Amino acid sequence: MKVLHTSDIHLKDYQDDRWKTLQKLIEIGKKEKIEVFTISGDLFDKGIDAEALRPRIRELFSKTGFKVILIPGNHDIESYRSGAYFGEDIEIISDLNKPYETADLRIWGFPFEHIEGEEILSKLGSLANILKTDKTNILLYHGELLDAFFSRKDFGKEGEGRYMPAKLSYFKDLNIDYVLAGHFHSKFRVWELENGGYFVYPGSPVSITRRETGRRKVNIFEIGKPPEEYPLDTPHFEEVDIELDPFKDEDPVKMIREGLEAIHPDAKILLRVTGYIDSSRINMSESELVSRISKITEGKLLENDFAFRDIHTLFEDNLFKDFRNKLEEKGFDDEKKRGLLDLTVKAMLGVKL
């Protein structure tokens, strides 16, 4: 049996990038012949979005050929309480003690609540006597894992609050084979549980904020085997940092173009260009270089930071010329010589080290 695991899609508008990403995931599910599609919270960004999109969701989650199992996250916790119908293939788990079952699989859901510590342990403890080993047990969970180092940006725009924080040790005495988690946006992460199972964050399948950079992924795996990354062709943000070197015989436009060639076609680029240029050598001013960069990134650039400087006048300074000549006379190796040149440039430009 094959399972697709995702979370944190944060749907807002029909036919936007997030909606199209969900459509793509459904097509991937069909292509990969999955039997279960799990969403570990925050399918919707807000309750009002769930209500507005529900008629479309019904169409999307009908006749897929697989079951869609989801739990409420902290963003869409109110979206399912009225018993609204979301589609014939959807099963919403709103009670931790009432799993979804197939012949070989039992899926439990821990819907998001504003609880932590002992309350989480108590609720998980209630499963201990009913988690039988006759089937594979999966737990859907939406919250933070305290065993790993995360920064606030890993969870999107959640502020400083804590969201169902748990430790791997909370699951060690439970017959759980997979904890399929949500809430952690930034990337795919896996931890092994003491009982031999796995705790998995797939990361959001589409960039929700500018903090989620890099190609997005979902978790597609065969029951009984480890979680597995499945790279997606979905919209995402990509950071590109390019440092220009005035001491190298390089065409900065060509250098930037080549740096962008490896970027995924669905990526929106967060470009930062630093370093220095010698405008007399490259026959191009700062403004002209910015214009050329803008042309080659047209349609792909989400944000730019042009922090490079033209140091042509410094290169023409007699004191700097004398210093370069003396370096050559000293016979320093290239690394030593380059380090001294960099220090001198920064000192003469008044840049703090």
In this prediction, residue 180 carries a pLDDT of 98
35-62 pLDDT, tens digit each: 999 999 999 999 899 999 999 999 999 9
Question: Hey, what long-range contacts does 312-318 have (CB within 8 A, 24 or more apart)?
Answer: 312/277, 312/278, 312/279, 312/280, 312/281, 314/345, 314/348, 314/349, 315/246, 315/278, 315/280, 316/280, 317/348
Q: How confident is the model at residue 304 (pLDDT cuts 50, 70, 90)?
A: very high
β strands within the chain, DSSP E: 2-6, 36-39, 67-70, 90-92, 100-101, 105-110, 136-142, 178-182, 189-192, 198-201, 217-222, 229-231, 236-244, 267-277, 301-306, 309-310
123-133 pLDDT, tens digit each: 999 998 899 88
pTM of the model: 0.88
Question: Hey, what long-range contacts does 242-245 have (CB within 8 A, 24 or more apart)?
Answer: 242/271, 242/272, 242/273, 242/274, 242/275, 243/273, 243/274, 243/275, 244/273, 244/274, 244/275, 244/276, 244/277, 244/308, 245/275, 245/276
* Domains delineated in the chain: 2-231 (3.60.21.10), 236-316 (no CATH)
